[in-house]
Chain A
Amino acid sequence: MSSLFGNILKGWTDYTKGIEEGGHHEYEHMWGMVIDLDKCTGCNACSVACYAENNIATVGEEKYVARQSMQWLRVERYFDEPDIDPGAIDDENAMQERGASFLPMMCQQCNAATCEPVCPVAATYHTPDGLNAQIYNRCIGSRYCANNCPYRLRVFNFYSYTDENGAWPEPMKQQLNPDISVREKGVMEKCTFCIQRINAAKDKAKMENRQVTEGEVKTACQQTCPTQAIMFGDLLNPESKVTQAWVRQQIKLGKYKQDRENPTLRGYRIFEELNTDPSVLYLERVREE
């Protein structure tokens, strides 16, 4: 009984502390990301790397058009000039001069994730690393989490892709990443911030009896980005590049409204006002006037 109340009281202390200090207290790590949209060229290499690293099924054109793709990381295109007729997409002169803006979107690893409380079987939960984790074996596929994700960043295995006609016909099976499972139909999945790499680095550090150092973990998208638009690191480590970027941009975790001294700073978090407290910081693209 005492442990029950102890847990409740501890939960309350954690909660209040989380409000005051920004959610990441008592974590071992707090993995975060910074994406500089000014550097992003929209080449989609990050997305391809993500497919290769995480055993994501390729679904083919038909299912992609039906929006049943399994993309964990997608590069979204946005056009600034909304008066262009979308029907004239083949007409080169009609395209806007400065091209599209690109927005690479992967799971934002929200600290107040909306997907977590709604899962009936607790298949998605928060790790002490500040990650929003998904347990494939536990998932029963009610898909409530995806419905409640304002970013639409959870993808569902609408079909089975593991058989001979699936995403990996025979010799292709050889290239599956052995560090991560292949998901069956009926399971929800999403970006994990390459948790297999994080765990490998943590294990190595533990064997060598030290802390995980800055730059030791690189996500597949970060590693592949030709313009180095993606930065990844531990927000609890004051030395790390991401922490410095977050401090420079005056963005704090655990807030749905930032009180920044300098309003011209480029940093923003997507849908911060919904109080999801995402861990990915975007740096706005700067256009010439």
Chain B
Amino acid sequence: MSEAALKHLSETQTKDIDENIAWAKINRDVLRSMENPRRGYWIAMAISVALFSVMIYAEVYQYIYGMGPALLNTSHMWDLYISTFVFWIGMSHSGTLLSAILHLVHADWRKPIYRFAEAMTTFSLMTAGIFPVIHLGRVWNFYWVMPYMTDRGIWPNFRSPLIWDAFAITTYLTSSVLFLYIGMIPDLAICRDNTTGWRKKLYTWLSLGWHGDDRQWRNFRITYLMIACFLIPLAVSVHSIVSMDFAMAIMPGWHVTTFPPYFVAGALYSGCAAIITLFILLRYFFKFEEYMTFPILDKVCKLTFVIAMVWSYLNLVEFASVWYGHDIPSKEVLLAKAYGPYAPFFWGMIAFGMFLPFALLSKWVRRNMKLLFVVSVLLNVGMWLERWMIVTPTLSMSYHPWGWNIMWPGWVEWAMVGGSFGWFGMLFLIFVKVFPCVSMYEVKEMVFHRKRTIYEDVDEMMVLHKGAPTAVEAGSTKNGGS
């Protein structure tokens, strides 16, 4: 789309979606996005694979030589491994917010964008899950944290927050994979009906014989709703449990009661910022201007802003409670964050996390795609810094003066951090070419609902339904209605 057309679109696009889009066009547009990749795709893929290869190299190196080359030391035992882990867990929360919470409150503008957000949830969890494993000194024994039966009767320590982490993450990952997959079944059926070759085989197998009759739709709705309801408390509990890695410790700056809500808010925040980033990328590369519209982008931006303000508030609450609680070590850690060696990163976090979101209030920024892309990336940089500023300053200045020291992460740690983005990018790039990253059937629903005012009383609705396409067609058909 040309520059002028884009400008025109930004002025004229006032509805979440144009309700006159033909259903066949929706199918066509989304299926087109899954066709053979172009050059830009391969470049992005090459970068991701390269980053991931560096991570594999670093992990092999670490496996052979131990944790030393990461420059961890007696005071700094975790550093970037755990802060990046928390970052990726945080990224995973927005998908659930968009698909589960907004599904329950009937915010239908989520429909064109929730699929890729949910994929992001799954893949960032898969990325996050790597970190607690690779940070282990004896990584080959990682399965010891799982409570499996042994004839020696040895169990893990159920009091440890790391065990809760293991449970929480595996549960969340399983349920979000299920949620992503089940929500995709009607779309996979559409793909099945429109492809040939290996894709046809794959989609036939994955769509579980979906042909879109009433019974299937009914079961599908109930299952989807149930998993959505199951997922919401999980999303809250997962990040609360991750925050307990810190809150359950006695270290100053970690032992904070407000950490669970603070972490959940931070998680939703960074997740929403990442949704904006991917929104812009997908919209641009896949030409999804008609589905990922400006009004929807506005809504996501406003949501991000609100969550950013909640996060900022909780941040200030934490500072205030440390300050007025007058626990000297905690206070010194807080002061060291603001004035100490890590101060640039701390103020970077404040600037990007607390002040930059105000840019989202400007309509000019929200219409300027390049600028908004940079803003959304910077918001996530701020959130990554936040996690680092939780982990490292506390370790550099704990109770005992002997333990006070400053460290800069070694190349192994940076390789792991960079590689995690490569791994995530790789998974996401594969996803967008193999699975529809816009939910076809739900966009059709959205168009349908908006065309016919479904919220009127039932009699009127029945009248309106006459002549409307049936559910069978909505789910799986080559040449949809209209």
Contacts and interface: CB of A to CB of B under 8 A. Distances in A.
A120 B156 contact: yes
A158 B66 contact: yes
Contacts of A141: 67, 136-138
B250 interface: yes
Contacts of B154: 138
A141 B68 CA distance: 13
Between B67, B68, B77, the greatest number of chain A beta carbons within 10 A of the residue's beta carbon is seen for B77
A134 B405 CA distance: 26
B395 interface: yes
A117 B160 CA distance: 6
Number of chain B interface residues as a range: 35 or more
Contact of A139 (B77, B138, B166): B138
Nearest to A141: B137
Given A74-B402, A159-B68, A271-B399, A148 B162 contact: no
Interface string A108-141: 0000001001111110000000000000001111
A240 interface: no
Contacts of B156: 120-122
Contacts of B139: 186
Interface secondary structure of A, over-half rule: loop
A150 B250 CA distance: 8
25 contacts: A67-B74, A68-B74, A74-B402, A114-B250, A118-B248, A119-B157, A120-B157, A120-B160, A120-B162, A121-B156, A122-B156, A138-B154, A140-B136, A140-B142, A141-B136, A141-B138, A142-B136, A143-B78, A144-B77, A144-B160, A144-B162, A148-B250, A157-B66, A158-B68, A271-B399
A30 interface: no
A186 B135 CA distance: 10
Interface in B119-150: 132, 135-139, 141-142, 144-145
Nearest to A76: B402
A186 B67 contact: yes
A275 B145 CA distance: 28
Between A76, A140, A155, the greatest number of chain B beta carbons within 10 A of the residue's beta carbon is seen for A140
A160 interface: yes
Contacts of A271: 399-400
B425 to A, nearest CB: 28
B251 interface: yes
A120 B154 CA distance: 12
B34 interface: no
Contacts of A122: 155-157, 160
Interface of A: 63, 66-69, 74, 76, 78, 105, 114, 117-122, 138-144, 146-148, 150-152, 154-160, 185-188, 271, 274
B138 A186 contact: yes
A288 to B, nearest CB: 25
Contact of A68 (B68, B399, B401): B68
B399 A274 contact: yes
A61 to B, nearest CB: 14
A142 B162 contact: yes
A119 B154 CA distance: 14
Interface of B: 65-68, 71-75, 77-78, 132, 135-139, 141-142, 144-145, 154-157, 159-163, 166, 245, 248-251, 395, 398-403, 405, 407
Contacts of A142: 132, 135-137, 162
Nearest to B78: A147
B398 A68 contact: no
Contact of A119 (B66, B160, B245, B250): B160
Nearest to B249: A148
Given A118-B161, A121-B145, A159-B66, A67 B75 contact: yes
Nearest to A78: B401
B137 A156 contact: yes
A113 to B, nearest CB: 11
A69 B74 contact: yes
Contacts of B144: 120-121, 138, 140
Contacts of A119: 157, 160
Nearest to A69: B74
Between A69, A78, A114, A147, the greatest number of chain B beta carbons within 10 A of the residue's beta carbon is seen for A147
A155 B67 CA distance: 12
Given A67-B73, A155-B74, A271-B399, A117 B159 contact: yes
A69 B312 CA distance: 40
Contacts of B138: 139-141, 185-187
B65 A157 contact: no
